[in-house]
Structure 1
Amino acid sequence: MSTKTKNPHLPGKVTVWRMSEEERLAYIAKHPIQPEEKPKPLDMIEQTPWSKK
């Protein structure tokens, strides 16, 4: 009797997608990358409590 269970932390099955250059360009044209309005600042970078002004 096997008591082996699926471990949810192990990687699952990987699906590899292959595209031709024309398919890739058509996908990029259909789904363009749009930058965010303004990147959110990181609090740790902006806070400089020990720096001399």
Structure 2
Amino acid sequence: MHHYNYQTREEAKADIIKYIELFYNHRRIQKGLGFKTPNQMAEDFYKLAA
């Protein structure tokens, strides 16, 4: 994303959304989740539900 010239605003927006969905939401440790990633929380949830 850094130093990339997008042709349109929509192209830039799509790239930002992709970044958020693929990196930020799934891999970033969240304080509100007990310092776990969303993926770790989902794994814990499904282990308990099984």
Q: TM-score, normalised by structure 2?
A: 0.31
